[in-house]
Chains A and B, each alone.
Chain A
Amino acid sequence: EIVMTQSPATLSLSPGERAALSCRASQSVSSYLAWYQQKPGQSPRLLISGASTRATGVPARFSGSGSGTEFTLTISSLQSEDFAVYYCQQYNNWPTTFGQGTKVEIK
């Protein structure tokens, strides 16, 4: 089973700042990597698939990059609604697995 490791566990930033979230796979997952956002009390929402393709309706301030074992989700300028927990998921290998999440909190 591929282990997905996200860092940092918590990111404390102010609105308007840039956020960079890391996701590392224990072996290559090519570009078969998705990112999700989960706000308190809500279900996850797909942000990015294929490592860099934004889902419908996702603002352009969200971008994904990377391939192989190293991936990054970047939020160019944090808005109040972006403070949430973010998860990565690999779907290259069986079974599909998620990272443990990065919480982006207001500093």
Chain B
Amino acid sequence: EVQVVESGGGLVQPGGSLRLSCAASGFTVRNNYMSWVRQAPGKGLEWVSVIYTGGGTYYADSVKGRFSISRDNSMNTLDLEMNSLKPEDTAVYYCVKGTAVPGRYWYFDLWGRGTLVTVSS
């Protein structure tokens, strides 16, 4: 079955760190454009970060310099290292497989169930 399963969410204090992980099955992470998309409680969707097939990484301005996306090709997993967390980072974080369009960006054709990150003292 093609799926992604996130883990690692939890409660963290402002300024703290957390590492999210996403285990993929049924497809190869390194051959796809993999993103993290988040959703604050009761709010809409916000793209956070992407890792390209070639390894390039990109971030939304709201998390640039604080978050780091990576993958483990041997484990077929995707990670998101989150540092200097702020209350406004509180959200469900989804691991998402993207389909890239030549010359453009990606739409998201496979979503995990998400993992909740709560930043609060």
Total chain B interface residues with beta-carbon distance under 8 A: 19
Cross-chain contact B109 with A44 (CB below 8 angstroms): no
Q: For residue B60, which residues in chain A have a CB less than 8 angstroms away from its CB?
A: 95
The complex places the Cα of A91 from the Cα of B50 at a distance, in Å, of 13
Q: Which of B13-21, B66-74, B100-108 interfaces with chain A?
A: B100-108
Chain B's closest residue to A97 (CB) is B47
Which secondary structure characterizes the binding site on chain A?
loop
Among A24-48, those with CB < 8 Å from B are: 32, 34, 36, 42-46
Enumerate chain B residues within 8 angstroms of A44, measured Cβ to Cβ.
Answer: 45, 94, 108, 111
CA distance A89 to B35 in the complex (A): 14
The answer to whether B44 touches A98, judged by C-beta atoms less than 8 angstroms apart, is yes
Residue B81 at the chain A interface, CB threshold 8 Å: no
Alpha-carbon gap, A98 to B112, bound state (A) = 18
In the complex formed, the residue of A with least CB distance to B4 is A43
Let me know if A95 and B111 touch, CB within 8 A: no
The total of Cβ contacts below 8 Å across the A-B interface reads 54
Chain A residues within 8 Å of B107, by CB: 34, 46, 49, 89, 91
Report yes or no: A49 in contact with B99, Cβ–Cβ below 8 A: yes
Interface residues of B in 86-121 (CB under 8 A from A): 94, 99, 101, 104-109, 111-114
A contact residues around B108 at 8 Å (CB): 34, 36, 44, 46, 89
Evaluate contact between A43 and B45: CB separation under 8 angstroms.
no
A92 to B46, CA, bound (A): 16
Give the distance in Å from the alpha carbon of A94 to the alpha carbon of B107 in the complex. 13
List, in ascending order, chain B residues with CB within 8 A of A87's CB.
44-45
- CA A49 – CA B100 in complex, angstroms? 11
Cβ-defined partner of B44 (8 Å) among A43, A49, A94, A101: A101
Q: Which of A45, A91, A94, A98 is the one whose CB lies under 8 Å from B45? A: A98
Residues of B at the A interface (CB closer than 8 Å) are: 44-47, 60-61, 94, 99, 101, 104-109, 111-114
12 contacts between A and B (CB under 8 A): A34-B107, A34-B108, A42-B113, A43-B111, A43-B113, A49-B109, A89-B107, A91-B101, A93-B105, A94-B105, A95-B47, A96-B47
